[in-house]
Amino acid sequence: MSTTSAPHGARLVLATHNAGKVRELRALLADAPGLQGLDLEAAVRDAAAAGCPVVAETGVTFEENALIKARAVADATGLPAVADDSGLAVDVLGGAPGIFSARWAGAQSSDARNLHLLLEQLADITAEHRGAAFVCAAALVTPDGQETTRIGRLEGTLLGAPRGEGGFGYDPILQPTGETRSCAELTMAEKNAISHRGQAFAALREHIAAALQGAGQR
């Protein structure tokens, strides 16, 4: 049941309070078939603009958390909703930090503390066993209950020390496969072209476009 009023002109809500993520999604959809001429600035809005509260991520996988957020926003607004959840999966840690990536260092977690703790935990692990990947699950939920998810992965190797000033989180210590630089040493355009999040949303793009078209016909 819808409990909030969606912004005028909105057709889809991205379950985030991060304006940058909304801009990324609009850019991805800009040349999608069937959406030419659609005012994506008005049609694709964020959860804050729709008056949705932050949703607790209580799932145990990236996919579950993405679906939890998308379901909550679709239910609250009566519009199709898109959400994502992502993190770092380290091979020798059995996929951890995983869904706990943002709070790996505990109650006082920060990007710097999380990164420092992970490097300490891997201090004795040799380069050939430092495989890891950034993983993202993206989910689309429509008001009639249809659910679609896609996964993106950016494979690489963890460095022994941070390199680069760009990006955020664990970017300074993941060197993508085939690269000589860390994610934090790539330009924003270079990173976006190979990112786990970009892959997941690109795979979901045709479904999002269809949901936008359907929302406009109701």
| Residues annotated as catalytic (active site), given as ranges | 85
Residue 123 assigned ligand-binding role: no
Residue 144 assigned ligand-binding role: no
Residue 168 assigned ligand-binding role: yes
Residue 69 assigned ligand-binding role: no
Any bridge partners for residue 140, and if so which?
Answer: 82, 148
Side-chain-facing half-sphere of 115: CA atoms under 13 Å: 17
Using DSSP, state whether 133 is helix, strand or coil.
strand
Backbone angles phi, psi at 105, to 5 degrees: -85, 10
Residue 191 assigned ligand-binding role: yes
Residue 197 assigned ligand-binding role: yes
* 209 contacts: CB under 8 Å, gap ≥ 6: 29, 32, 33, 34, 35
Residue 18 assigned ligand-binding role: yes
* C-alpha to C-alpha distances, 162 to 106, 153, 156, nearest whole angstrom: 21, 21, 14
Strands (E), the chain: 12-14, 44-46, 81-90, 131-141, 147-158, 174-176
| Amino acid in the structure at residue 135 | V
Residue 65 assigned ligand-binding role: no
Element at 216 (helix H, strand E)? helix 196-217
Residue 171 assigned ligand-binding role: yes
Annotated binding site for Mg(2+): 85
Annotated binding site: 16-21, 85-86, 168-171, 191, 196-197
Annotated binding site for substrate: 16-21, 86, 168-171, 191, 196-197
